[in-house]
Amino acid sequence: MQADIEIYVLSCPTETIVEWLSQSFKVQSTTSESDTSLTLKLLHNNHIIPVTILEKAAGKRFTSIWFDSPNTPWKNDMECAKSAFEVLQSEVRCNFQGWQEAGEEDPDQWWRINANGEGLYIWR
């Protein structure tokens, strides 16, 4: 399990993302931090999972969804991205190998899922 999970969704309204999350989690609270940021507390298997949704996180069109917990139903970013794409039908990207402070992984390697399929992508 990863310590946290983060995915990026292309051109998907925050309300639609919250609806997707409501299918798998019980939403305990939502707080609007700004015009582009929403913080949620989700309940899953008796664990509170803090989630931040940040619009325009990567360019103008990508929204970040950050689960600040190891207690999600997914074991890594890629599983979460696949789940999000199935429901949202919007392109989803995530870090290819998860973030690691030490190591020789290329930080520009991302996994991209869209209507054309999925695969490795260099995001610059």
User: What CATH number is given to the structural domain containing 39?
Assistant: 3.30.310
Note whether 110 and 120 are within 8 A (CB).
Answer: yes
Give the amino acid at 37: S
The per-residue pLDDT for 107 is: 60
Environment class of residue 80 by beta-carbon count within 10 Å: exposed (0-12), middle (13-18) or buried (19+)?
buried
Containing structural domain, residue 41:
5-122
Taking residues 7-28, what's their average pLDDT?
96
The per-residue pLDDT for 59 is: 80
Taking residues 101-115, what's their average pLDDT?
74
Note whether 62 and 93 are within 8 A (CB).
Answer: yes
Taking residues 41-62, what's their average pLDDT?
95
Model pLDDT for residues 59-92, shown as the tens digit of each residue = 889 999 999 999 999 999 999 999 999 999 999 9
Give the amino acid at 89: Q
Residue 105, pLDDT above cutoff 60: no
pTM: 0.90
The per-residue pLDDT for 98 is: 57
Positive or negative torsion for Cα 65, 66, 71, 75: positive
Say how many domains are in the chain. 1
Give the amino acid at 120: L
The per-residue pLDDT for 102 is: 47
How is the chain split among helix, strand and coil, in percent rounded to 5?
Answer: 20, 45, 35
